[in-house]
Structure 1
């Protein structure tokens, strides 16, 4: 992307949702804005300040940060989706008055707020402050289209406890996607719950915001960007991705997001000793914890397939013995990483030929840029939508599994692991085409131009003050 430094005197606030998978892409976007001469203050919670370090050292004068009050962990235990909703609402209650006071007392307050889509309430803060609010989506336009439709018209199932495969369709979304009930993010039991209502209103507030910025690129999801522009009633919907650094040191790619149990140089040495396109990288993200059944199927498939592999997965403490014996049996053919993995560095290595992924959007883009074939095994929420996009609409991935409901047979998964490394497969051709398209968009193409247009429109607002 362009790195032309021309001082704009624009000062904006960037407010990521306090989770690594949301913070890092917004920091990457912040990096791009800083290289174009903006001044940015990042809002960050105490436990996530360390994620800012490589960016602060790269932009010591134009990047500032404000440490927000920490959320006291007194949310009562509950099912995961209820707990998540309660946390999001508690963040609003804690941070809204703090930020209002900070803005109003600042000698040179920011002229705009860009905040994560899970922080839709910041639209109301921006309205009170009389500044534009940009919604940032670290997810794709397809996933957001489904999420917005779900919130506007929550799907119904008269017997969700029994009929989990009841089909839900979205005829108003392009390509009319259809999902079994268990794959849809919905909270039908919470319609009268204030936390659910707050979440729904926050999501809909994103549609009312001044603009929406996506970590995606136009040619990947063009039909969904056109759809969202119709939904919001204007053209201030920008596709500026992939925002992750594409060259150089990748803003500390070896330690991006955390520390690995296996040092990056040891990983690279192991990969250097492998032939081109011979390694399957397996990772289910930083949040998904594999069940005992999932882990046993995966370990058996990796063992029986005979492929070289790197496995990075969170497992329950009581399942450690499965991997201990597993590591002894596969020997030097595979590596097991506990904790965070230097995923970008791994995927860009010439020895890695395919990627078994949970289909989180960050992983999708990192795999796409690397040009590797993806095996999809989504675990929750918009990951199912991302898998549908990769397999059925882009023809660049192979479906392997779906959550805990569709766990593949270990023999079939072993076969797919081998197939994924076959460079003659059509998915390999499509993966390379889309990799080229992503790089072209980010290097002087549509994403570069969208980011320049976004900054121009913000500067025009500043001139009118």
Structure 2
């Protein structure tokens, strides 16, 4: 807690603040920061994402070991209709316990939807009790053969989300995943696991209107039948959250293509240069 306190004080005392967000997403909160700090040196320069490419570089070749190669993932997605796939991933730290995994697997099986499940097998300080790391049920992959792809290890998340076949994202609501899902225009199915993820989930569902609540950590684990219903519902083309998600995606693209984030980045560099020159003159 002392470390977090020191970080917060350091942020407040800093010359300026640069955040990975954009005006169309968090304008009210950015304005609040400026008001509380007493100055306008708050710049939103996001979403900061790997550039889109031809699949031979960038986000495809990032990350660590995986049970499925990026090319296999893309080939699988290419065979799916547009907007027909739910991508399920809980980030690089969170690991499901066995009850969470069992309900998730049962919900995916009963839903009948196409999906990609990124299943982590270990934790670097995640949110599960020691010895309670959920394993994918032994017969699960056989039961969902043809419509489900399980990736153990690292998944090329940005590439998956950008694919035309992906329509929804079941996520732990970490900020990187939140921005990646929003930028891709996916309906966000929220299941926060810890830290600020609960606040991010509230932003997605209550403020932005792009998300549907699924669960909360290990306290609110969705039952398989209800999860199956939500998964199927999330792929509907006329879903209000889908319409709103496309609007937010457009705003994200506009921000980094000559819009607010580009302007904030230029302003930040100008202010930095002015500060540098003033220090030189002082010396």
TM-score by length of 1: 0.56
Quote the Cα distance in structure 1 between the aligned partners of 2:39 and 2:144.
55
- Tell whether the 8 Å contact from 1:346 to 1:352 is kept in structure 2 after alignment: yes
Task: Choose 1 or 2 for highest CA Rg.
Answer: 1
Q: Which consecutive residues of structure 1, in runs of 5 or more, have no partner in the other structure?
A: 1-195
Q: Which residue is equivalent to 2:260?
A: 446
The CA distance in 1 between the partners of 2:133 and 2:30, in whole Å, is 43
Match of 2:217 in 1: 403
Q: Match of 2:92? A: 286
Q: Distance in 2 between matches of 1:207 and 1:378?
A: 27
Q: CA offset at residue 252 of structure 1?
A: 2.1
How is 1:51-450 mapped onto 2 (pairs within 5 angstroms)?
A: 196-248=1-53, 252-315=58-121, 322-450=136-264
SS of corresponding position for 1:331: coil
The 3 A distance-change label for structure 1 pair 206 and 320 is closer
Q: Deviations over 1:132-182 (max 9, x none)?
A: xxxxxxxxxxxxxxxxxxxxxxxxxxxxxxxxxxxxxxxxxxxxxxxxxxx
Instruction: Check the 8 A contact 1:281/1:356 in 2, yes or no.
Output: yes
> 2:137 and 2:206 mapped to 1: Cα distance?
33
The whole-number CA distance in structure 1 between the counterparts of 2:136 and 2:53 is 38
Shift of 1:230: 1.3
Asked whether the equivalents of residues 291 and 315 of structure 1 are also in contact (C-alpha less than 8 Å), the reply is: no
Q: What SS is found at the alignment partner of 1:366?
A: helix
Q: Residue 121 of structure 2 contacts residue 152 of structure 2 at CA under 8 Å; is this kept in 1?
A: no
Structure 2 residue runs of 5 or longer lacking an equivalent are: 123-130
Change over 3 Å in CA distance of 1:319–1:449 after alignment to 2: closer
> How far apart in 2 are the matches of 1:326 and 1:318?
19
TM-score by length of 2: 0.91
3-state DSSP of counterpart to 2:222: coil
| Aligned residues between the structures | 270
What CA distance in whole angstroms lies between the structure 2 residues aligned with 1:309 and 1:232? 44
- Per-residue displacement from partner, 1:67-120 (whole Å, max 9, x unpaired)? xxxxxxxxxxxxxxxxxxxxxxxxxxxxxxxxxxxxxxxxxxxxxxxxxxxxxx
